[in-house]
Amino acid sequence: MAEAARIKAAWDALATHRQATAGETLKSLFAADPARFETFSFRLDDLLLDLSKTAIDARTLELLTDLARACEVEARRDAMLSGETINVTEGRAVLHTALRNRSGAPVLVDGRDVMPEVRAVLEALAAFAGGVRDGSIAPARGGRFTDVVNIGIGGSDLGPAMATLALAPWHDGPRCHFVSNVDGAHFADTVKRLDPATTLFIVASKTFTTVETMTNAASARRWIVEALGDGAVAHHFAAVSTALDKVAAFGIPVERAFGFWDWVGGRYSVWSAVGLPVMIAIGPEQFGRFLDGAHAMDRHFAETPLESNLPVLLGLAGVWHRDVCGYASRAILPYEQRLLRFPAYLQQLDMESNGKSVTLTGEPVERPTGPIVWGEPGTNGQHAFYQLIHQGTDVVPCEFMVGARGHESELAHHHALLVANCLAQSQALMNGRSYDEARNQLLAMGRSEAQAQSLAPHRVFPGDRPSLTILYRTLDPFTLGRLIALYEHRVFVEAAIWNINAFDQWGVELGKELASALLPVVEGAAPPADADGSTVGLVRALRAMA
Ligand SMILES: O=P(O)(O)OC[C@H]1O[C@](O)(CO)[C@@H](O)[C@@H]1O
């Protein structure tokens, strides 16, 4: 069968199967197969992905893997891992996996092994991070750095900010802070608690042109110069970028500038020099464990058959929910307070990668692509937006994650409550509560029949709402590495099935261009003659209020 016809046949078969199984519910699937958990939960060592509370059955999985094969997911994966130019709109290879390649094997880009450079940067980072941590790299006026402020945005912020928080129990280096927003409040509120004499800034920007980062970096330089004089800049700044010439022009010495490469996408860059704040926080050795975890997931992704390949299965569940069931969003719900920024991190990873409307060859896509990704840690989310998840009119597939062990052994009861809440939520989503159950409960509470009948509809939970659960032993650097890589490859699998480029981000450009055109207008210049009435009206109103 020709490729397009085979892909269409795979989609059609999925749609037909969905229709044929419309009468089934999660409860009926479990009733028919009490061993469903064993069949539909998949493991990589102590990492477990449970798909049993989705409507996916054995036939669905067969059809989804047929679709993946028709879309050549394996060949596309191999092309990425072997350094082919798969980011076609930017003419680049995609090799974040090389940054955590711990195998010693070469990785070729245009016939050249990139691993020696990767290792050299990693060593330079370790020497610098080690020096900041042990005080041998010192502030201009002596002493030790007590605080590190990372200035970056998007991929140059979210990865290290998320990971530093996630790995708080391993944090034994200087305090780390993150300034991303161009809103001066972010910079001002951060530095007002800091002493310039003991503060190190890391300016992280792949391009070293991003206006937010350059504006914050200029303010940071002023803050240092005003307190410590011009000569302090060389001591109080480091940089991470692919544009080392621009770093030098900013005044940061070459030995404090850490490079990476155009084959590392911003949102895939936490493994590169962009991870420097994480390394300063937890030390080079633990950072190595973080890379080890991601490498373990890379190997699993590269070597495991589709049927038991965790990122593939997570991707297929995503495609099932998005395209076959028609659900427009997915909620990321870590029952792990230290994964507070994980949903935000995944928003960029997923939505900047797969929020696309044209295929790799520029034709309009035929079916929905990346869903809206959102979330918050449990249990906080339960007291905020879970109402809609349980009783709203939209179905939101939920992705729960929780560790078997908390770090605070003296607070074991808290952890037990956390786990119980996580499990209760997916159970409630699946089982729901019928009208009769609600009514009987009200009667048992002593309400009259009339009251029970009028209140029961408000207490009905439709149930049969899908969720998946990811379990791990404990959130350590190795597991965080595995978790992030799991989601990176999931995004890749979905993009391969949708035949879109997950590695460009043209959708962020137009707003940037218009903002630079509007800056002079905001600052007092006349609006251009062709400016729209709303924007002109808003500028006028802002000026009147200022
Ligand atoms: O690291 P840079 O070049 O400053 O870019 C920051 C971010 O801006 C974007 O290009 C667009 O928002 C992201 O992809 C990127 O992570």
Contact 236, 139 (CB under 8 A): yes
Give Rg (Cα) of the chain: 25
Minimum CA distance residue for ligand 1 atom 9: 154
Return d(Cα 128, Cα 146) in angstroms, integer.
Answer: 15
Question: Is 479 close to ligand 1, i.e. is its CB under 6 Å away?
Answer: no
Look-up of token digits 């029949």: 449
Return d(Cα 529, Cα 535) in angstroms, integer.
Answer: 12
Distance from Cα 477 to the centre of ligand 1, integer Å: 25
pLDDT of 479 reads 98
Question: How many alpha carbons lie under 13 Å from residue 324 in its C-beta half-sphere?
Answer: 29
Contact 194, 149 (CB under 8 A): yes
- The residues near 87 (Cβ < 8 Å, ≥ 6 apart) are 93, 94, 265, 501, 503, 504
Catalytic residues: 352, 383, 512
CA of 156, closest atom in ligand 1: 1
Look-up of token digits 């993150």: 178
Minimum CA distance residue for ligand 1 atom 8: 154
Contact 355, 507 (CB under 8 A): yes
Return d(Cα 361, Cα 143) in angstroms, integer.
Answer: 57
* pLDDT by position in tens, the chain (length 546): 569 999 999 999 999 999 999 999 999 999 999 999 999 999 999 999 999 999 999 999 999 999 999 999 999 999 999 999 999 999 999 999 999 999 999 999 999 999 999 999 999 999 999 999 999 999 999 999 999 999 999 999 999 999 999 999 999 999 999 999 999 999 999 999 999 999 999 999 999 999 999 999 999 999 999 999 999 999 999 999 999 999 999 999 999 999 999 999 999 999 999 999 999 999 999 999 999 999 999 999 999 999 999 999 999 999 999 999 999 999 999 999 999 999 999 999 999 999 999 999 999 999 999 999 999 999 999 999 999 999 999 999 999 999 999 999 999 999 999 999 999 999 999 999 999 999 999 999 999 999 999 999 999 999 999 999 999 999 999 999 999 999 999 999 999 999 999 999 999 999 999 999 999 999 999 999 999 999 999 999 999 999
Give one DSSP letter per residue of 233-261, joined into a string. HHHHEEEEES-HHHHHHHT--GGGEEE--
Tokens of 233: 């800049």
Tokens of 538: 């808003």
pLDDT of 57 reads 97
Tokens of 454: 């009028």
Return d(Cα 241, Cα 281) in angstroms, integer.
Answer: 20
Mutate to test the pocket of ligand 1, among 94, 150, 151, 153 (most ligand atoms within 8 A of CB): 153
Distance from Cα 206 to the centre of ligand 1, integer Å: 7
pLDDT of 1 reads 56
Return d(Cα 287, Cα 293) in angstroms, integer.
Answer: 10
- Tell me how crowded residue 390 is: count the other CB atoms within 10 A of its CB: 18
Distance from Cα 270 to the centre of ligand 1, integer Å: 13
Look-up of token digits 């509120």: 189
Return d(Cα 277, Cα 148) in angstroms, integer.
Answer: 7
**Which ranges in 156-232 belong to alpha helices (H)?**
158-166, 184-191, 211-228
Distance from Cα 204 to the centre of ligand 1, integer Å: 10
Using CB atoms within 10 A of its CB, is residue 459 exposed (0-12), middle (13-18) or buried (19+)? Answer: middle
Minimum CA distance residue for ligand 1 atom 16: 155
Tokens of 288: 């190595």
Minimum CA distance residue for ligand 1 atom 4: 205
Question: CA separation (Å) from 53 to 37, 189, 221, 462?
Answer: 8, 44, 52, 15
**pTM exceeds 0.90 for this model:** yes
Q: Report the candidate in 74, 79, 4, 9 with the shortest Cα–Cα distance to residue 361.
A: 4
Tokens of 357: 């409307």
Torsions phi, psi of 340, nearest 5?
Answer: -50, -40
pLDDT of 2 reads 61
Return d(Cα 271, Cα 113) in angstroms, integer.
Answer: 18
Instruction: Give the three-state DSSP class for 93.
Output: coil
Tokens of 127: 């020497």
Contact 502, 354 (CB under 8 A): yes
Question: Is 269 close to ligand 1, i.e. is its CB under 6 Å away?
Answer: no
Question: CA separation (Å) from 447 to 91, 292, 425?
Answer: 68, 58, 27
Question: Is 505 close to ligand 1, i.e. is its CB under 6 Å away?
Answer: yes
Question: CA separation (Å) from 287 to 169, 187, 290, 362, 499?
Answer: 13, 27, 5, 39, 34
Question: CA separation (Å) from 193 to 85, 146, 182, 188, 508?
Answer: 46, 12, 19, 9, 33
Question: How many alpha carbons lie under 13 Å from residue 226 in its C-beta half-sphere?
Answer: 7
Mutate to test the pocket of ligand 1, among 181, 210, 510 (most ligand atoms within 8 A of CB): 210
Contact 167, 149 (CB under 8 A): no
Question: Is 213 close to ligand 1, i.e. is its CB under 6 Å away?
Answer: yes
Question: How many alpha carbons lie under 13 Å from residue 452 in its C-beta half-sphere?
Answer: 15
Distance from Cα 261 to the centre of ligand 1, integer Å: 14
Mutate to test the pocket of ligand 1, among 505, 510, 512, 513 (most ligand atoms within 8 A of CB): 505
